[in-house]
Amino acid sequence: MKKGTAKEERLTIFIDGSNLYHSLQALKISKINFSKFVEFLKKDKMLISVFYYNASLDISIDKKKYWEQQKFFDFLRRIPGFKVILARMKKHKRENGKMIFEVKGDDIMLATDIISGAYENLYDTAMIVSGDEDFVPAIKKCQKLGKKVGNVYFSSTSSNYLKHSCDFSICMDKYIKDMIIK
């Protein structure tokens, strides 16, 4: 076919922000260039959008970290095609009195968006940046609807079940080094 006559493959990327954060921490990476990250994943596909799921930190615990995170979310929102989707942060008090925090609702939001995008024919290929195997039922539904789904993961947080349920997978461990912001 002549260039320009083939239908360009439409791509949407779904990033599990908490999973990505912990994956980067395991590699001792604090910041990456998200534009380079997305460009690497996009390759020759037409990028439709990037969804980034996370939750705001508790401002009463650490105001400085809270405002740094808000600045980060604002930065992501300025990248063309990026949509920041915020879930909620749940506090748990352990028996020893220590407070722990957990992002709640982000996985179901991601699963809902990937399935609704498949039904609405908003993309041809979806990439999930996560190691969370809870997404497998949503992936299988998208595949049943004729969509390709890829898993972008890091070895520290990967799930074999998730990787093998997808049409393709990309381990970012060696590639992410080119995207680090010093």
- Burial (0-12, 13-18, 19+ Cβ within 10 Å), 3: exposed
Give the CATH number, domain containing residue 104: 3.40.50.1010
Enter the tokens of residue 128: 């999930």
Number of domains the chain is built from: 1
User: Does 92 score more than 80 pLDDT?
Assistant: no
The predicted structure's pLDDT at residue 72: 93
d(CA 171, CA 131): 10
Residue at 1 is within a domain = no
Residue 171 lies in a domain: yes
| pLDDT, the chain, mean | 91
| Contact by Cβ (8 Å): 119, 145 | yes
| Confidence (pLDDT) at 1 | 39
pLDDT digit string (tens) for 6-35? 579 999 999 999 999 999 999 999 899 999
Decide if 93 is inside a domain: yes
- Note whether residue 65 is domain-resident: yes
Is 4 among the domain residues? Answer: no
4: left (phi over 0), alpha (psi -120 to 50) or beta: left
In a domain, 5, yes or no: no
Give the residue numbers spanning the domain of 25. Answer: 10-179
**For the chain, percent of residues with pLDDT exceeding 90:** 74
> pLDDT tens-digit profile of 55-68?
988 888 889 999 99
Domain assignment of residue 88, yes or no: yes
- Any domain includes 3: no
pLDDT of 37 strictly over 70: yes
Start-to-end CA distance of the chain, whole Å, equals: 43
Q: What is the pTM of this model?
A: 0.90
